[in-house]
């Protein structure tokens, strides 16, 4: 009877690890979801939960065998989550998106592995660090420091002096255009990709408002 009680406590500890990992994944996913990123709360929670589960199985699921290497199963988590992360990285018109979210998913699997192996303090602290870094570097000041340029995609009606008007609007808002790529989608619509850098006077809200006031703009994407 004593053996069964101890066994129950041990298994409860394993379940607790998985639950704590899932909670940490939810917190990391919430930060991503709040920014309308591709992978949100459910994805990160399942990644952390799954990583913790695999760690528990890897450490304790083969104890009835004489000799076993507990790291062999756990090592596959890294490559497996890397495959998932690759699925949310997109390249559109020369612009790459999803890299930060994919890296966050990979780091979340590490959190799950920590907690699954019993390193609660490390897993929780790393979760807080990941969330803090994501929030900190989404701050406008740090975005200007860490990003050499930003991308803007436009779909506009083909009208006289459209490109010149766009250039003047950007210049008025303290924006420097480094490159401009123009592609005709249809007879009446052009797709324009721009790489820009905002100066000290650059205000994102003012630029967005000025651009949306233009009647010739059909689509405006800023990243």
Q: Is 107 helix (H, G, I), strand (E, B) or coil?
A: helix
Give residue 1's pLDDT. Answer: 41
pLDDT band at 6 (very low <50, low <70, confident <90, very high): low
Map tokens 């210049």 to a residue.
171
Instruction: In whole angstroms, give the CA distance from residue 178 to residue 27.
Output: 37
Maximum mean pLDDT: which of 67-76, 115-124, 167-176: 115-124
pLDDT band at 2 (very low <50, low <70, confident <90, very high): very low
Give residue 201's pLDDT. Answer: 63
Q: What is the DSSP letter of 63?
A: T
Mean pLDDT of the chain: 79
Query: 137-172: per-residue pLDDT in tens?
Result: 766 555 554 455 677 888 888 888 888 888 888 888
Give residue 23's pLDDT. Answer: 92
Instruction: In whole angstroms, give the CA distance from residue 191 to residue 154.
Output: 6
pTM higher than the cut 0.85: no
pLDDT band at 62 (very low <50, low <70, confident <90, very high): confident
Give residue 9's pLDDT. Answer: 72
Query: 30-57: per-residue pLDDT in tens?
Result: 887 777 676 788 888 888 998 998 888 8
Instruction: In whole angstroms, give the CA distance from residue 71 to residue 58.
Output: 7
Q: What is the DSSP letter of 198?
A: E
Query: 165-207: per-residue pLDDT in tens?
Result: 888 888 888 888 877 888 887 778 888 888 887 766 667 778 7
Backbone angles phi, psi at 116, to 5 degrees: -60, -30
């Amino acid at each position: 009877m004593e053996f069964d009680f101890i066994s129950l406590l041990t298994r409860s500890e394993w379940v607790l690890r998985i639950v704590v990992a899932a909670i940490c994944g939810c917190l990391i996913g919430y930060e991503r979801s709040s920014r309308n990123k591709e992978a949100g709360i459910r994805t990160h929670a399942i990644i952390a939960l799954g990583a913790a589960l695999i760690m528990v199985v890897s450490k304790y699921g083969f104890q009835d065998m004489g000799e076993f290497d507990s790291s062999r199963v756990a090592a596959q988590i890294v490559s497996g989550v890397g495959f998932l992360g690759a699925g949310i990285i997109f390249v559109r018109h020369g612009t790459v998106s999803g890299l930060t979210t994919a890296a966050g998913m990979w780091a979340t699997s590490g959190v799950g592995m920590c907690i699954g192996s019993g390193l609660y303090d490390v897993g929780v602290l790393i979760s807080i660090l990941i969330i803090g870094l994501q929030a900190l570097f989404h701050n406008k000041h740090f975005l200007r420091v860490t990003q050499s340029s930003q991308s803007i995609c436009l779909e506009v009606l083909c009208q006289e002096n459209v490109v010149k008007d766009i250039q003047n609007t950007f210049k008025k808002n303290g924006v420097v255009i480094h490159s401009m790529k123009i592609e005709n989608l249809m007879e009446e619509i052009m797709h324009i990709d721009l790489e820009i850098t905002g100066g000290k006077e650059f205000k994102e809200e003012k630029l967005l408002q000025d651009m949306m006031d233009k009647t010739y703009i059909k689509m405006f994407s800023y990243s």
